[in-house]
Structure formats: structure tokens, C-alpha cells
Amino acid sequence: MKNRAKEFIKNELKKRNLTYMELSLIMKNKGYVYSENTIRSKINRGSYSFVFLLEVCDSLDISITIL
């Protein structure tokens, strides 16, 4: 399951041709403050909180349905 979590965000960044630094700046503009290294660590571990996932999705305008 960790691989799926890790690959989800990585694939979304690839689709948008974004780096971790760019994601960090986009998230900061939305009010979610994470350093590039923190984002890289969370994603590479593949074990991040649901809140972090929601923040990333909000920052990248990814619509998700919560059951």
C-alpha cells in the first residue's frame, strides 16, 4: 500500500512537470508550509497522513471523493 501512496503523488507531479520545490511553493501559497526536503521525505517513505494527501490534492487542484 505504501508504494501506491508514494506513486500517486509522484505520478501527479510528473503529469504536471513539477519538482518537489515547486510543489512546496504551490502548497505555501495555499497556506500549507512544508520544506522541499520534508515533502520529498514524506513522499519517498510513502507513509504520510491523510491530511497531507488532502493538502497536496488541494494544492494541485485534484478532486477526490471521500466516502
Are 52 and 42 in contact by the 8 Å Cβ rule? The answer is yes
- Verdict on whether the full-model pTM lies above 0.85: yes
User: What is the structure's pLDDT at 23?
Assistant: 98
Domain boundaries, the chain: 2-59
Q: What sign results for the dihedral spanned by CA atoms 53, 55, 60, 61?
A: positive
Q: Kindly report, residue by residue over 13-63, the tens digit of the pLDDT.
A: 999 999 999 999 999 999 999 999 999 999 999 889 999 999 999 999 999
User: What pLDDT is recorded for position 67?
Assistant: 61
Determine the 3-state secondary structure of 49 from DSSP: coil
Q: Which pLDDT value is given to residue 3?
A: 83
